[in-house]
Chain A
Amino acid sequence: METTITESRETLTAGTSMDETRGLTYPRIECKNINVSYGDKQAIFDISLPIPDRSVTALIGPSGCGKSTFLRCLNRMNDTIESCKVTGEIIMDGENINDPDIDPVLLRSRVGMVFQKPNPFPKSIFDNIAYGPRIHGLAETREDLDEMVEKSLRRAGLWEEVKDRLSSPGNSLSGGQQQRLCIARAIAVRPEVILMDEPCSALDPVATARIEELIDELRKRYCIVIVTHSMQQAARVSQRTAFFHLGELVEMGETDQIFTNPRERRTEDYITGRFG
Chain B
Amino acid sequence: MTDAAPAPFRNEKALKRLKKRRAADMRFKFYGMSAIAFALAALSLLIISILSQAMSAATYHIVRYDVVLDPAVIAPPGKDKPADVARNIDGFYDLLRDNLLQTFPDVQGNRLETRQLGDLLTRLAVLPVAKSVAANPTQIGQEMTIKVPLNDDLDLYLKGAVSPEARLKLGAVEQGIETTPGRVTLSGANAFKGLQSLIAAQRAEVGDAVDARSILVTAGKSTGRVVSMSADALEMDLLTGSASDFNAARPLARVIALPESQRNVSDDQIAWTLALKDMGRISRVPHFSLLTHTDSTYPELAGALAAIVGSLLTMLVTAFIAIPVGIFASVYLEEFAPRNRLTEIIEVNINNLAAVPSIVFGLLGAAVFLGFFGLPRSAPLVGGLVLALLTLPTIIIASRAALKSVPPSIRAAALGVGASKMQSVFHHVLPVAGPGIFTGAILGMARALGETAPLLLIGMVAFVADVPTGPTDESTALPVLVYSWATHAERAWEPMTAAVIVILLMFLITMNGIVVFLRRRFERRW
Binding site for B on A (CB under 8 A): 1-2, 5, 9, 93-95, 97, 102-103, 105-107, 109-110, 135-137
Contact = CB atoms under 8 A, between A and B. Distances in A.
Interface stretch (B2-10, B138-146, B218-226, B411-419): B2-10
Contact of B9 (A2, A102, A137): A102
B9 A95 contact: yes
11 contacts: A1-B6, A5-B1, A93-B2, A93-B7, A93-B8, A94-B7, A97-B9, A105-B21, A106-B11, A136-B14, A136-B17
Contacts of B5: 2, 5, 93
Interface of B: 1-2, 4-9, 11, 14-15, 17-18, 21-22
Contacts of B6: 1-2
A9 B8 contact: no
A107 B7 CA distance: 12
A270 B115 CA distance: 104
A95 B6 CA distance: 13
B9 A106 contact: yes
Closest 8 CB pairs of A and B: A137-B17, A95-B9, A102-B9, A93-B2, A5-B5, A106-B9, A93-B8, A103-B18
A107 B18 CA distance: 12
Given A93-B2, A94-B2, A105 B8 contact: no
Contacts of B8: 93, 106, 110
Contacts of A93: 2, 5, 7-9
A43 to B, nearest CB: 23
A179 B2 CA distance: 31
A93 B6 CA distance: 10
Contacts of A97: 9
Contacts of A106: 8-9, 11, 14-15, 18
A25 to B, nearest CB: 11
A2 B1 CA distance: 12
A107 B15 CA distance: 12
A37 B14 CA distance: 32
Contact of A105 (B2, B7, B18): B18
A196 B52 CA distance: 61
A105 B11 CA distance: 13
B433 to A, nearest CB: 33
Contacts of B2: 93-94
A1 B6 CA distance: 9
B4 A5 contact: yes
Nearest to A6: B5
A105 B17 CA distance: 11
Contact of B1 (A9, A102, A110, A137): A9
B10 to A, nearest CB: 8
A137 B18 CA distance: 10
Nearest to B10: A95
Given A102-B9, A106-B8, A137-B17, 16 more contacts: A2-B5, A2-B6, A5-B1, A9-B1, A93-B9, A95-B7, A95-B9, A103-B9, A105-B18, A105-B21, A106-B11, A106-B14, A106-B15, A106-B18, A109-B14, A110-B8
Contacts of B17: 136-137
Nearest to A107: B9
A183 B217 CA distance: 89
Nearest to B5: A5
A120 to B, nearest CB: 23
B233 to A, nearest CB: 77
Contacts of B9: 93, 95, 97, 102-103, 106-107
B325 to A, nearest CB: 42
B101 to A, nearest CB: 77
B519 to A, nearest CB: 25
A97 B14 CA distance: 16
Nearest to A109: B14
A123 to B, nearest CB: 19
A135 B1 contact: no
A193 to B, nearest CB: 11
Nearest to A103: B18
Choose among B7, B8, B17 the residue with the greatest number of A CB atoms under 10 Å from its CB: B8
Contacts of A103: 9, 18, 22
A105 B9 CA distance: 10
Contacts of B14: 106, 109, 136
A9 B1 CA distance: 9
Contacts of B7: 93-95
Contacts of A95: 7, 9
B23 to A, nearest CB: 13
A106 B19 CA distance: 11
Nearest to B19: A103
A2 B6 CA distance: 8
A54 to B, nearest CB: 12
A93 B11 CA distance: 13
Choose among A2, A94, A137 the residue with the greatest number of B CB atoms under 10 Å from its CB: A137
Choose among B9, B18, B21 the residue with the greatest number of A CB atoms under 10 Å from its CB: B9
A106 B21 CA distance: 11
A110 B9 CA distance: 10
A135 B21 contact: yes
A83 to B, nearest CB: 19
Contacts of B18: 103, 105-106
B171 to A, nearest CB: 69
Nearest to A28: B2
Choose among A1, A97, A106, A136 the residue with the greatest number of B CB atoms under 10 Å from its CB: A106
